[in-house]
Structure 1
């Protein structure tokens, strides 16, 4: 049923718990996490690297020049589609943007205040 995952050597798809995708340089890294088995300290995971596809795109400024643009590998999108069927990701709840910004601002204030106190303490040591 999940032919792309089977192509990666993953035959027991019921053991898949979640996955993550991140970009490193010119590659996308897919990491698949499996359910933790009894007696294991950490859950098993496997990592796959996919090179990003490079396409030449005409620049829109009328110069007639092209630039390289990278995008996700088609095989990776097919694997992600299968993983989404297995893991059924939950859609994020709507976030109150104003509250999030205020929360981020308060956190930033605490971080900056802590750093200022640390620098002032270092300055006192120099006296």
Structure 2
């Protein structure tokens, strides 16, 4: 039913909660978040990087000048279509973006605090 997601190694697509997509240099980074399982502090996630496709597009027909442009990888568009069907992805507004950034910031604070506590506990074991 979701051949592109299973091709990525995701055996139970119904566990997907949401995803994010961003561009880094000449790559698109897809991060898939799963529903938090009982007893887990943080929900699991996986990250995939797709190289952007480079194309030369004619800028001016009279001079024959070309410009190099990049576009999303075709395989990634197929994966995103499946993710949209699973998550019923909605159009994001500026307010949603602000809330997401704040939510991501709070999540990062928790992750960093947890990691610091883990490292401090390891240090205590060495005493």
The TM-score, its normalising length taken from structure 1, stands at 0.70
* Structure 1 residue 62, shift from structure 2 partner: 2.9
Measured on the aligned residues, the alpha-carbon RMSD in Å equals: 1.8
TM-score normalised according to structure 2 size: 0.70
Q: CA deviation at 1:25?
A: 0.2
Cα deviation, 1:61-102, whole Å, max 9, x if unaligned, reads: 632111110000000000000000000023457x9xxxxxxx
Residue aligning to 1:62:
62
Aligned partner of 1:36 in structure 2 is: 36
Gaps of 5+ in 2: 96-127
Structure 1 consecutive aligned stretches of length 4 or more whose deviation exceeds 2 Å: 90-93
Mapped contact 2:20–2:31 kept (Cα < 8 A): yes
SS at match of 2:14: helix
| Corresponding residue SS for 2:83 | helix
**Which residue in the other structure is 2:16 paired with?**
16
Determine which structure has more spread, i.e. the larger CA radius of gyration: 1
What corresponds to 2:105 in structure 1?
none
- Whole-angstrom CA distance in 2 between matches of 1:87 and 1:33: 11
Q: Which runs of 5+ in 1 are unaligned?
A: 96-127
* Map of 2:106 onto structure 1: none
Report the 3-state secondary structure (helix = DSSP H, G, I; strand = E; otherwise coil) of the residue aligned with 1:59: strand
In structure 1, distance between residues paired with 2:15 and 2:43? 10
